[in-house]
């Protein structure tokens, strides 16, 4: 199982960014956060997607769209292997 996270600044583009993720994934989580970019605090959002198989290309496509819509210099993408089960 893989957990992917896309970290970005929270901007007015959030609804469009959320739509971009929803177009690619039917299930995901958004997490409101406080991030720091080059030492400066900024409101942030983390999109978290869990998948049974690697989906790196789809995640990259979503991250590029999030970056473009938010007019960001960069967004951070992480991938973690985890064990999980639905209860």
CA dihedral (7, 9, 13, 15) positive or negative:
positive
Centroid of chain to Cα 32? 11
**Fold adopted by 2-81:** Alpha-Beta Plaits (3.30.70)
83 forms bridges with which residues in the sheet? none
The one-digit pLDDT tens for each residue of the chain (87 residues) are: 999 999 999 999 999 999 999 999 999 999 999 999 889 999 999 999 999 888 999 999 999 999 999 999 999 999 999 998 889
Name the pTM for this structure. 0.92
């Amino acid at each position: 199982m893989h957990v992917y996270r896309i970290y970005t600044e929270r901007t007015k583009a959030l609804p469009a960014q959320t739509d971009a993720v929803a177009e690619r994934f039917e299930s995901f989580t958004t997490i409101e956060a406080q991030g720091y970019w080059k030492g400066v605090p900024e409101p942030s959002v983390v999109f978290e997607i869990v998948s049974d198989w690697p989906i790196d290309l789809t995640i990259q496509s979503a991250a590029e769209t999030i970056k473009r819509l938010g007019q960001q210099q960069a967004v951070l993408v992480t991938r973690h292997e985890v064990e999980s089960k639905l209860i």
